[in-house]
Amino acid sequence: MIDPLEQAIVLYIRMISCLLLLSTGLMAQSNHALKFYATGVGPPGQQDRILIPVDDNQPGKASSVIDVGTGDFTFEFWLRGRLQDNPTNHAGGGMLFNDYNWIEGNIILDRDVWCGTERNFGLSVSGGKVRFGVGEGDAGGSSSLTIEGNRDVLDDSWHHVAAVRDVTAGSLRIVVDGVLDFSSPMDYNRADLSYPDAGIPVTGDCSTGQLTAYGWYLVIAAEKHDAGSAYPSFNGYLDELRIWNTARSVAEIRDNRFSVVSSDSVGLVAQYRFEEGMGTTVADSSDAQAPDGQLIAGINNNGEWVSRADNSDNTAPLSDVIFANGFE
């Protein structure tokens, strides 16, 4: 027989936990995710990926809300993959490079422009470790920078990954499973990495413009230009992509990774939950009204939808149980 006092305490804890959670995040399962196969590396091109426009590549200020490179930003998402499916090499972990070699890993986020500007950034996994890098920007004086984390995220388990660019500090950091994995020193990079408002002509010649027509997209799970096997795509599962125009703290990332944040959260410019489960449109659920992403192709072995109903390991482990933030 349950003691009435014990029952009352349990109910009280649940009520307080619910109120705390609703103040900062919303409980919700993830019912669908996306599986990619790293096939987008060459002809026929533009396969097995998501394309989201950050600009219209025309003169003027027609940038979308996810063109966050002017200042602070944070990208966070859940991934699950295996090392044997993503066979690029790491450099030992906990490394900083004064170059752009994030692009040599299995690419997860690509906001690179091939010629015409150095306003670039992206994220990949190399030998199971996260790499996050930025370009020099147009002004120079702030070198290209890549950091490589320590944690292995390709053990066929779900991991939460966040990449943070802090302009005030001039630094980058990688956060894995709510814990700081690696960060650059301060004063390394404060360049404007947003897509140029004037646009860049597509000429196919680096001396006069950009080489391909994909520079003004954020591409998920692939190297956007299909430049070949030297720049491989990601093979694995992705879920719950969020984009912020703020430099999220480690505590903020940790406390909200298992829940869906409120659509009007300060600084939230996109929340792509991948809950459609079918079709080729990936929609934002934030109040910022970020542009829809185009999934290619939404079919077996090519940007494939997967569901929790088929296998609970298919989707990110968002909480089914109400806990106060900070508790798991």
Tokens of residue 31, six digits: 């019912």
Q: Whole-angstrom Cα distance, residue 264 to residue 226? A: 36
In CATH, the number for domain 30-314 is 2.60.120.200
Q: Which of 47, 51, 50 is nearest to 34 (CA)?
A: 50
The domain spans of the chain are 30-314
Q: Residue 110 is encoded by which pair of tokens?
A: 């690509």
What count of other Cβ atoms lies within 10 Å of the Cβ of residue 45? Answer: 11
Please list the pLDDT of the chain residue by residue as tens digits (328 residues).
556 665 555 455 444 444 444 444 576 899 999 999 999 887 788 999 999 999 999 998 789 999 999 999 999 999 999 999 999 999 999 999 999 999 999 999 999 999 999 999 999 999 999 999 999 998 766 678 999 999 999 999 999 999 999 999 999 999 999 999 999 999 988 999 999 999 999 999 999 999 999 999 999 999 999 999 999 999 999 999 999 999 999 999 999 999 999 999 999 999 999 999 999 999 999 999 999 999 999 999 999 999 999 999 999 999 865 444 455 5
Residue 98 contacts residue 176 (beta carbons within 8 Å): no
Q: What angle do CA 244, 290, 76 make, to 5 degrees?
A: 30
Q: Smallest Cα–Cα separation from 80: which of 150, 128, 121? A: 128
Classify the C-alpha dihedral 21-23-28-30 as positive or negative. Answer: negative
Helix, strand, coil in percent for the chain, rounding step 5: 10, 30, 55
Number of alpha carbons in the 13 Å side-chain half-sphere of residue 182: 19
CA 74 remoteness from chain centre: 8
Instruction: Please state, in angstroms and rounded to a whole number, the distance separating the CA atoms of residues 306 and 318.
Output: 16
Other Cβ atoms within 10 Å of 43 Cβ, number: 7
In whole angstroms, give the CA distance from residue 46 to residue 171.
32
Phi, psi of 120 (to 5 degrees): -130, 155
Q: Are 54 and 67 in contact (CB under 8 A)?
A: yes
Residue type, 94: G
Q: Are 48 and 295 in contact (CB under 8 A)?
A: no
d(CA 276, CA 280): 9
Give the span between the Cα atoms of 164 and 119, in whole angstroms: 16
In whole angstroms, how far apart are CA 113 and each of 9, 13, 60, 120, 213? 57, 51, 18, 6, 9
